[in-house]
């Protein structure tokens, strides 16, 4: 009863008064009334539909329930070895480690907790190459990797390492023969993303793993978008290192994990020095509530993956069919056969992409990775697929998740169709196409 009274009073206080100057500034930029919501100069009728699950997923309420005790009463440092609070936190961390390991069919001893997939990718790529730098000077990756993988590779290039950026086919998949041909005696790592964050294609990881095993080259995969979405088996895939993220699997932000194979053992040079936590690979106090949240998210995903997959596939089909029934010139980017159903990346011909996004303020969608969404350049992932620049500019990524409803899909169809039709009415190119003119054969004059 006392705790309820405390929380009620606290909630009432928080509604009336922001914590800090920063919170006050944020509050002043946000205004909600009976007419709608205004933020950053944009007014909408209410909170938008959320279809951007690849950027981040909402925390599952069951995950939050698991985390709360470790904020309120079980707040011990898991590295405190002399008292009960430390012991119970340590037990919770190890239990979470086992939950994460179970989802990818690994040993708990092979799981290292990090701050997220970006840190795990950095440890994997820089850490492996720095450890084996005397004999291994070459890395192979693809042109469609997440920016943190590409930037880590560029960092290694500045240090004198060689990097091969493999092209992908028009469906977004790696050509296995090109991968095989790129491997050299001094190749120290192959890094290929499991599920692409922008277009959702699932790479042939088992086949890639077999090639790496044949040449005895360590294989790293960024599986942030795959965890809890598709079945993962580190043994089947012959993965040496795997990067994982908490907030892409209905867990909290700020926590991730790195799988590191023990047999045959893979070694890395730590990227951060400190107290030697996580076997010295990732020093720093392990954040117990976040780790517990990630573990709980993995356990929920393990139980519900099959159900989620069926439901999300049906919603994706409903969304795609609903749009295509009412619009022509709609192109799916990436393979439809080897694809995670919750990621649907569409290009709309004869529509200016930024205008489409601005017109879809009642639907939270994006034009690509959240990490590069500030750029006005067309997606480098779509350009790597050979998508023409004008079509790459018109792409929208629809992210469907565990909590997406049919009503939200239907509303998204309605709003998208309305906005595309509105923009095409203003497009002279679309008018020409409707009149039967082949605009690809027009010789445009330059002034």
CA distances from residue 71 to 74, 75, 287, 293 in whole angstroms, order as listed:
7, 6, 10, 11
| Cβ count near 170 (within 10 Å) | 12
| Contact call for residues 301 and 395 (beta carbons, < 8 A) | no
Rg (alpha carbons) of the chain, rounded to whole number? 24
CB environment 65-91: b (16+ within 10 A), e (fewer): ebbeebeeebebebeeeeeeeeebbbe
| Contact call for residues 200 and 248 (beta carbons, < 8 A) | no
In 3D, which of 320, 324, 308, 333 has the Cα closest to residue 388? 333
Bridge-partner residues for 397, per DSSP? 345, 366
| Catalytic residue flag (residue 212) | no
**End-to-end alpha carbon distance in the chain:** 77
In 3D, which of 388, 387, 57 has the Cα closest to residue 197? 57
| Contact call for residues 210 and 238 (beta carbons, < 8 A) | yes
* Token pair 């939200």: residue: 408
- Quote the tokens at residue 431: 């008018």
Alpha-carbon distance 363 to 353, whole Å?
15
User: What is the pairing mode between strands 42-44 and 36-39?
Assistant: antiparallel
Alpha-carbon distance 212 to 235, whole Å?
13
User: What is the pairing mode between strands 256-260 and 49-50?
Assistant: unpaired
| Contact call for residues 282 and 113 (beta carbons, < 8 A) | yes
Alpha-carbon distance 1 to 305, whole Å?
38
| Contact call for residues 149 and 141 (beta carbons, < 8 A) | yes
Peptide bond into 264 cis (omega under 30): yes
| Contact call for residues 344 and 398 (beta carbons, < 8 A) | yes
Cite the active site residues.
371
């Amino acid at each position: 009863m006392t705790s309820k009274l405390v929380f009620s009073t606290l909630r009432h206080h928080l509604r009336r008064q922001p914590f800090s100057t920063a919170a006050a500034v944020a509050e002043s930029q946000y205004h909600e009334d009976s007419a709608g919501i205004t933020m950053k100069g944009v007014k909408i009728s209410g909170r938008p539909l959320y279809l951007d699950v690849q950027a981040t997923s909402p925390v599952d309420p069951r995950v939050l329930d698991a985390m709360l005790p470790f904020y309120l009463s079980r707040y011990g440092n898991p590295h405190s070895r002399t008292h009960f609070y430390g012991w119970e936190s340590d037990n919770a961390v190890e239990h979470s480690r086992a939950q994460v390991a179970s989802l990818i069919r690994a040993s708990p001893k092979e799981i290292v907790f990090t701050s997220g997939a970006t840190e795990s990718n950095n440890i994997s790529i820089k850490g492996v190459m720095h450890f084996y730098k005397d004999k291994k000077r070459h890395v192979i990756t693809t042109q469609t990797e997440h920016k943190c993988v590409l930037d880590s590779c560029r960092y290694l290039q500045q240090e004198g390492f060689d990097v091969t950026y493999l092209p992908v086919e028009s469906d977004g998949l790696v050509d296995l023969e090109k991968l095989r041909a790129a491997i050299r005696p001094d190749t120290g790592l192959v890094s290929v993303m499991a599920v692409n964050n922008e277009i959702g294609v699932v790479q042939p990881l088992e086949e890639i793993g077999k090639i790496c095993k044949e040449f005895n080259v360590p294989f790293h995969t960024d599986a942030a978008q795959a965890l809890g979405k598709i079945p993962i088996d580190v043994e089947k895939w012959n993965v040496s290192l795997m990067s994982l993220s908490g907030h892409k699997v209905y867990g909290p932000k700020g926590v991730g994990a790195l799988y590191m194979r023990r047999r045959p053992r893979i070694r890395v040079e730590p990227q951060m020095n400190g107290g030697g936590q996580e076997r010295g690979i990732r020093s720093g106090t392990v954040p117990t509530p976040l780790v517990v949240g990630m573990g709980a998210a993995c356990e929920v995903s393990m139980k519900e993956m099959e159900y989620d997959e069926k439901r999300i596939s049906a919603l994706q089909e409903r969304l795609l069919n609903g749009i295509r029934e009412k619009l022509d010139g709609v192109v799916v980017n990436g393979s439809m056969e080897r694809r995670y159903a919750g990621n649907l990346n569409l290009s709309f011909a004869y529509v200016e992409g930024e205008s489409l996004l601005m017109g879809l303020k009642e639907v939270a969608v994006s034009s690509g990775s959240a990490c590069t969404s500030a750029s006005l350049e067309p997606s480098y992932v779509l350009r790597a697929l050979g998508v023409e620049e004008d079509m790459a500019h018109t792409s929208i990524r629809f992210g469907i998740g565990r909590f997406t409803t049919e009503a939200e899909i239907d509303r998204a169809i309605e709003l998208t169709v309305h906005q595309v039709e509105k923009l095409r009415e203003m497009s002279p190119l679309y008018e020409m196409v409707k009149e039967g003119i082949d605009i690809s054969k027009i010789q445009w004059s330059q002034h």
